Copies of this chain bind each other. A is one copy, B any other.
Amino acid sequence: MKKISVGIIGFGTVGTGVATILKKNAALLRQRLGATIELKRIADLDIQRDRGVALKPGVLTSDANEIINDPDIDIVVELIGGTNAAKKMTLQAVKNGKHVVTANKALLSKHGHELFSAAAENGVDIAFEASVGGGIPIIRTIQEGLASDRILSFFGILNGTANYILSRMTDEGGDFQDILKDAQEEGYAEADPTFDVEGIDTMHKLCVLIGLAFGKKVSEKKIYTEGISKITPLDIEFARELGYRIKLLAICRGSEKGVDARIHPTLIPEGHLLAQVNNTLNAVFLQSEDLGPTMLYGHGAGMMPTGSAVVADIVSLSRDIVKNTANRVPYLPVNGKKKAGEIAIKPIKEIEARYYLRFSAIDKPGILSQISGILGRNNISIYSVVQKGRRMRGGSVPIFMLVHESKESDIQKALKQIDRLSILRQKTMLIRIEEGL
């Protein structure tokens, strides 16, 4: 029976999951694959800590080069995260003729095309199902299930930490900071939660999906990225009253000619399937020309779900090795075109949307007239407005407003004028609404 040797670089949460599954399911994998997968080496800076997986002596090493340059190793699993060392290691592994499995969305978002091109040149593959949506088979679905189809739009809840915090704020009505602290204690948020709560992790994943869906490079800095740290219980409560849930959404609409792509907290109708995706779970809701709507749902992170997606990639590459083939499913732009162009991203100022606005004003006569006057002069038409009693810190009164479809540039101009009014106590809260998903 053929033996396929695997080396893992990075023995953290996902690495431990991969090692656990390869050991626990060895017989199953042998049966399904018709070959043996051997976990030959694991590299990590910390080779002392007990991860609860029994390994043969000599498997652990603190030198990743012992994996990358080992001629016996067929598949390198890169799980160290970050973009610099990970890029170097991945490129070297590829040049050494090794297939690579990675869960590193930051790496693929920034250097994806360079890495995929290098892989194709060297006749190997880079598999990356675990990089977006953890165990959700979104990469495979775009590459294979939608092989004949044109993607029109997709909307993703792609960060478990942010979704967990928003879900608890929705269920319990707590403050962002308090629930973040809880989440950190429970292990659902990292000590430095910036990447997760400020939408950066979601943006990396969106860039990976755009690259895959439209076969072009994506410039991260052109993607408008706004996190959830400014969302208050008042916003969540009022959104609920209006029949909406607030989700941190990755949004993409368009074609290879250009996309409206952005990350921000979004009001979505409570009856939509995505509104039911709660806690740490992730989902992608996708619309394509022939298939219509599709939604994929599941765990977007975690030791075993993500580990399972990595092992599925190892199996897929192993099937190619068994069949002595490679580059069976080319990363799109590499196929046929030497150079992938960069996709045009519509600047946030140019979008049109419906908006939720929360003004924090002093409780005085004439406020609404001043605010609505400025909105009207900026072509913004009010859909509904609700003013409730004193409920905010500092004695100000919240005024909730939904406006009809407007230009973002008009909204921003109006808010600049409104926020300069002496009756306004805080910066106005703006949340975009997504109805057409």
Contacts and interface: CB of A to CB of B under 8 A. Distances in A.
Interface of A: 17, 21, 25, 28-29, 31-34, 129, 135-137, 140-141, 144-150, 271, 273, 276-277, 281, 288-299, 302, 304-305, 307-309, 311-312, 314-316, 319-320, 323-325, 327-330, 332, 335-336
A304 B325 contact: no
A298 B293 contact: yes
Given A148-B314, A294-B296, 20 more contacts: A29-B148, A32-B332, A135-B291, A137-B137, A137-B140, A137-B141, A140-B144, A140-B145, A144-B312, A146-B312, A147-B316, A148-B311, A273-B297, A290-B307, A291-B308, A292-B302, A293-B299, A295-B296, A296-B297, A319-B328
B296 A330 contact: no
18 contacts: A28-B148, A29-B147, A31-B332, A32-B148, A136-B294, A137-B141, A140-B140, A145-B312, A146-B308, A147-B311, A147-B316, A276-B276, A281-B293, A290-B305, A292-B298, A292-B302, A293-B299, A295-B295
A292 B137 contact: no
Contacts of A308: 146, 148-149, 288, 290-291
Contacts of A34: 330, 335-336
A337 to B, nearest CB: 8
Nearest to A297: B295
Contact of A291 (B31, B273, B299): B299
A304 B290 contact: yes
Contact of A150 (B28, B150, B293, B335): B28
A3 B336 CA distance: 16
In this complex, the member of A147, A304, A319, A329 whose beta carbon has the largest number of chain B beta carbons within 10 angstroms is A147
Contacts of A295: 295-298
Contacts of A332: 31-32
Most chain B beta-carbon neighbours within 10 Å: one of A28, A31, A296, A315:
A296
Copies in the complex: 2
A326 to B, nearest CB: 8
A135 B294 contact: yes
Contacts of A146: 308, 312
Contacts of A290: 17, 21, 135, 304-305, 307-308, 311
A100 B325 CA distance: 21
A145 B150 contact: no
B294 A145 contact: no
Nearest to A337: B31
Contacts of A319: 328-329
Contacts of A140: 137, 140-141, 144-145
A420 to B, nearest CB: 44
A147 B315 contact: yes
A144 B316 contact: yes
Contacts of A277: 273
Contacts of A298: 291-295
A115 to B, nearest CB: 20
A41 to B, nearest CB: 19
Nearest to A139: B145
